[in-house]
A = this chain, B = another copy of it.
Amino acid sequence: MKTKEHKIPEATIKRLSTYVNYLGRLGTDSNPVISSEILGESCQVSPAQIRKDLSYFGEFGVRGVGYDTKKLEAEIKDILGINHNWPTTIVGVGKLGQALLNFDFFRNHGFRIITAFDSDPNKIGTEAANGVTIQSISDIEKCVREEKISIGIITTPVAAAQEVADKLVSGGINGILNFAPIKVRVPETITLRNVSITSELDNLAYLLTQKKR
């Protein structure tokens, strides 16, 4: 893979995720080769857009033929970096936290969840899922440092989110994925993504309201 010097649109990354997801579900045996036309059809993206997205990172196809399905999947995985195995923790073992703990695609996307934290004394010490034991939130710093955890996923209520983020940061975390509907603040050096389920709801509400008017 040769990353070109250009800046890559975030939308491109999002689409690459869609592509690789689809390719993963596709039987590579029955579809050894795929064209941007077909892939676009399935992912609801124009063929030109797909070719452009891929062209940011190199040339993966064969003119007149298409893309080798298996190879393309591997290339995109490499681009996205989901072949890694980031030591990950989930903070906040409510329903959402549990949902994420049980999603097996974490493993398939380069994350290995090794610890979980919660503030509820009744939960601490119990097993959350897959052999992961729930620890006290007050131990975050120490644990992150000792276990060299590089990703923290925040699924706490809004009130606790910033404090948790601070603890993760001072423990030496690398990246944070925040599901609490508030924009947490972290130093420049920390990679941060805020996932706002709330805003998805609001967006749907907006679209529906528009339709009615």
What is the interface of chain A, defined by CB distance below 8 A to chain B? 3, 10, 13-14, 16-18, 20-22, 25, 43-44, 79-82, 84, 86, 94-96, 98-100, 102-103, 105-106, 109-111, 150-151, 158, 174-175, 177, 181-183, 185, 191, 193, 195-211, 213
26 CB < 8 A contacts A-B: A10-B203, A14-B199, A21-B199, A43-B183, A80-B205, A80-B209, A81-B208, A81-B209, A82-B201, A82-B202, A84-B208, A95-B95, A95-B98, A96-B99, A100-B197, A105-B181, A109-B198, A109-B205, A110-B201, A110-B205, A111-B201, A175-B207, A175-B208, A191-B204, A191-B207, A195-B197
| Residues in B whose Cβ lies below 8 Å from that of A16 | 202
- Measured CB to CB, the closest approach of chain B to A73, in angstroms, equals 13
| Residues in B whose Cβ lies below 8 Å from that of A44 | 183, 185
B99 to A196, Cβ gap below 8 A? no
CA distance A25 to B102 in the complex (A): 31
Q: Quick one: which of A21, A102, A193, A199 has the most chain B CB within 10 A? A: A199
A86 to B208, Cβ gap below 8 A? yes
Smallest Cβ-Cβ distance to A159: which chain B residue: B25
Q: Quick one: which of A43, A99, A106 has the most chain B CB within 10 A? A: A99
- Measured CB to CB, the closest approach of chain B to A82, in angstroms, equals 5
Given A81-B208, A99-B96, A208-B175, A203:B109 Cβ within 8 A: no
